[in-house]
């Protein structure tokens, strides 16, 4: 893989093959790679500042052209988010629960989730509602792309953790996976994380939305998402895996997240 990155144009070619790369081994703790390999973690692809700039430009163009190219959205996030990831990492280090997450490096995937245990939890619990979200929306935590272009092992984990709790945020906010729901979650994430990719998604996402949904989005849903994002503590400081049995209503109350305006059902 390292040979693919030689020369200033190689990153653009790399964009075309990323989709064929294997996904992350999410049942393996996110740790540093072996010394002498030149890699900071197992999926790491070292890149120069110029290569990162080319990757960012290429992935931004493709992501704006086709927002469903999640691989391009992922590359854009990794090549533009270093400063925001440092802020998030520092927030986690200052919080007891967040610091424990950084130390233990939990992963969220079908191989690490005990689906039977989640199914046996009481109605209304975080774990049961998260499982319901996955089932109703036909999504899987295994679809999250592995972090590859962040040149810091700890920041790479923070980025990966953000990706793997994305569906948890849908559950917390009561948002479906239609276009409208994704835009609302992106506004919440933009306020919470400051990641450029989230900000771009929040700003340009409405371009894909049907016109009839825009009034409710602008007047109600965006203000609610922004207010919720500002009021809530850093959502990366929540050790979700140890909160499965907590009632979702209690967790929302703890975070200061109120019920969303009811405009997100159905196709958008």
Residue 71 and residue 17 in contact, taking contact as beta carbons nearer than 8 Å? no
All residues at 6 or more sequence positions from 264 whose CB lies less than 8 Å from its CB, including other chains: 174, 175, 176, 178, 180, 181, 184, 221
Report the distance separating Cα 190 and Cα 195, nearest Å: 6
Q: Which two three-digit tokens encode residue 106?
A: 């939990």
Residue 73: Cβ within 10 Å count: 22
Residue 142, annotated as binding a ligand: no
52-62 CB burial, b ≥16 within 10 A, e <16: bebbbebbbeb
Residue 115, CB-side half-sphere exposure with 13 Å CA sphere: 10
Residue 167, annotated as binding a ligand: yes
Residue 166, annotated as binding a ligand: yes
Q: Which two three-digit tokens encode residue 130?
A: 């998260």
Angle between helices 248-255 and 166-173 (to 10 degrees): 90
- Strands (E) in the chain, as ranges, are none
Residue 239: Cβ within 10 Å count: 13
CA distance between the termini of the chain: 40
Residue 35, annotated as binding a ligand: no
Query: Would you list which residues are annotated within the binding site for Zn(2+)?
Result: 166-167, 170, 182
Query: Would you list which residues are annotated within the binding site?
Result: 166-167, 170, 182
């Amino acid at each position: 893989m390292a040979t693919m990155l030689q020369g200033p144009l190689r990153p653009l070619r790399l964009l075309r093959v990323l989709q064929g790369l294997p996904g992350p081994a999410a049942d393996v703790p996110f740790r540093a790679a072996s010394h002498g390999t030149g890699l900071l973690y197992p999926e790491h692809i070292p890149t120069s500042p110029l290569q990162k700039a080319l990757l960012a430009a290429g992935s931004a163009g493709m992501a704006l052209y086709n927002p469903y190219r999640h691989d391009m959205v992922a590359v854009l996030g990794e090549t533009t988010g270093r400063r925001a990831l440092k802020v998030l990492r520092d927030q986690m280090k200052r919080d007891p629960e967040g610091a424990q997450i950084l130390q233990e490096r939990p992963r969220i995937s079908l191989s690490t989730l005990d689906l039977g245990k989640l199914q046996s939890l009481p109605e209304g619990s975080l774990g049961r509602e998260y499982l319901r979200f996955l089932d109703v929306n036909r999504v899987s935590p295994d679809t999250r792309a592995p972090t590859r272009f962040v040149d810091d092992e700890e920041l790479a984990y923070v980025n990966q953790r953000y990706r793997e709790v994305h569906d948890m945020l849908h559950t917390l906010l009561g948002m479906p996976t239609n276009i409208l729901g994704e835009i609302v979650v992106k506004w919440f994430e933009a306020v919470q994380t400051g990641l450029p990719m989230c900000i771009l998604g929040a700003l340009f996402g409405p371009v894909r939305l049907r016109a009839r949904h825009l009034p409710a989005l602008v007047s109600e849903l965006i203000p609610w998402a922004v207010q919720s994002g500002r009021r809530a503590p850093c959502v990366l400081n929540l050790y979700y895996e140890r909160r499965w049995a907590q009632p979702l209503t209690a967790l929302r109350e703890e975070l200061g997240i109120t019920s969303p305006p009811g405009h997100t059902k159905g196709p958008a």
